[in-house]
Amino acid sequence: MSRTVVLSDLHLGSSGDIDLLRRPELREPLWAALAEADEVVLLGDAVELRDLPLEAAIETARPFFEELGSVIADGRVTIVPGNHDHHLLAGWLERRRLDGAGELDLEQRIPVEGGPLAEVVEGMGQARVELAYPGVWLRPGTYATHGHYLDRHLTVPSFERLAVAAVERVLGEAREGEADEAGEREAPGSASPADYERVQAPLYAFLFALAQSGTPAERLGGANPSARVWQAVGGRYGRAARIRGLLLGSVALPGAVGVANRLGLGPVKADLSPGAITRAGLAAMGDVVNRLGIDADHVVFGHTHRRGPLRAESGWRLENGTRLWNTGNWIDAPWLLGKKAADSPYWPGTVIVLEDGRDPRPRNLLEDRTREELRGLRRRS
């Protein structure tokens, strides 16, 4: 029986030691879960390239990939870039433009030929490593993509949502099929991966270049702050509640949201409750599925760091019957977490397992860890 394990949002190379898989003791549960895997899919943001200079990020990520190579042996490792490691595609995208290549399909398999990714994976032994973009067909009827395209349709006023809208304004892109001011959603039109890349790739290139300049990317909404704006508003515990209050009192005041909408950066809404955050993310991902014409029974994505569905949660099945699955994250976000995994849908450590003839199966590999264990080195320092 073929077995594929999918995980995303490792953010290896993040500043502040929030990337849990840089720590050997937290890699062990993952290696155990991969022992019988034929393929491992890293579904976006595996390496954090918008926080530290490239050399530092690669050096931090390399031990993880070397150990992964030992565990997977001659199996396949498929890396699907997301928004934070979009630069891994830079050379390939440039060659496509020079060659006058046509439209991007839903899946392009790309060999690793030089560039920063070759540096990262050089110690992986016999593992068969390749890129896939913007997504990959895991099984007939099961498609996986990082999910960053959803930022174009999100009604949460996150940094990337507003920045993408600003790029659209500069390029004169129309914003059809979005929610109107009353919250009603029109039927979305069709789009291609190239349509998303045209308005989102410039933002990713800018934030990557900012990290290389020696200026902390977080000052202009890089890795950590953009994640906090998106994630923390959905938290319910401790610092999460305080940050949500701050956002409601400043960034997301109804007046500020109204200004963003009048400037053509919307539509965005001031409702930043946990339920609203989840519904907005699922609705936006549904727009991506419909616009790209992804004809699948299951679509696996990451990006939002919000694992799911959990237990009997509703809203994860689209009107056409497609079921959505989210791979969660592997970072320590103390502003989101309670004391145990059951307290928060943002608890790190989720993988999704696919086996022939079975639906995707989420597993959280760190659910038995305490908050103190997750804090690890950061607590001791």
Do 224 and 247 sit in the same domain of this protein? yes
pLDDT, residue 67, reads 98
101 in the same domain as 8: yes
Q: Is residue 287 part of a domain?
A: no
Output the domain CATH number for residue 357.
Answer: 3.60.21.10
Least confident of 105-114, 158-167, 288-297, 299-308: 158-167
Does 353 share its domain with 364? Answer: yes
Please report which helix (H) or strand (E) contains residue 202, including its range: helix 193-212
Cβ neighbourhood burial of 86 (10 Å; 0-12, 13-18, 19+): buried
Q: Give the pLDDT score at 255.
A: 63
Residue 186 pLDDT greater than 60, yes or no: no
Residue where one domain finishes, among candidates 213, 242, 262: 262
Of the residues 262, 281, 307, the one at which a domain ends = 262
Q: Are residues 11 and 90 in the same domain?
A: yes
pLDDT in tens, 59-100: 999 999 999 999 999 999 999 999 999 999 999 999 998 988
Position 278 in a domain: no
**Cα-trace Rg, the chain:** 19
Domain limits for position 253: 149-262
Q: Looking at the structure, do residues 158 and 204 belong to the same domain, yes or no?
A: yes
User: What does the DSSP assignment read for 33-102?
Assistant: HTTT-SEEEE-S-SB--SSS-HHHHHHHHHHHHHHHHHHHTTSEEEE---STTGGGGHHHHHHHHHHT--
pTM: 0.87
Q: Are residues 16 and 144 in the same domain?
A: yes
Same domain assignment for residues 183 and 118:
no
319 shares its domain with 233: no
56 CB neighbour count, 10 Å cutoff: 14
Lowest-pLDDT choice from 113-122, 181-190, 225-234, 320-329? 225-234
Number of domain units in the chain: 2
Residue 234's pLDDT band, with cuts at 50, 70 and 90, is very low
Q: Considering the domain boundaries, does residue 13 fall inside one?
A: yes
State the amino acid at position 112 in one-letter form.
Answer: V
Query: Of 250, 254, 230, nearest to 181 (Cα)?
Result: 254
Q: Could you tell me what percentage of the chain is helix, strand and coil, using 3-state DSSP and rounding each to the nearest 5?
A: 40, 15, 40
Looking at the structure, tell me whether residues 15 and 137 fall in a common domain: yes
> Residues 174, 118: one domain?
no
* Residue that terminates a domain, selected from 217, 237, 262: 262
State both tokens at 294: 């992804």
For residues 153 and 135, state if they share a domain.
Answer: no
- 45 domain residue, yes or no: yes
Tell me if residue 370 falls in helix, strand or coil. coil
Are the C-beta atoms of 288 and 150 separated by less than 8 Å?
A: yes
Distance CA 260, CA 168 (A): 14
pLDDT band at 377; cut points 50, 70, 90: low
One domain, residues 52 and 175: no
Quick check: 218 pLDDT over 60? no
For 126-177, the pLDDT digits (tens) are 999 999 999 999 999 999 999 999 999 998 888 888 889 889 888 876 555 4
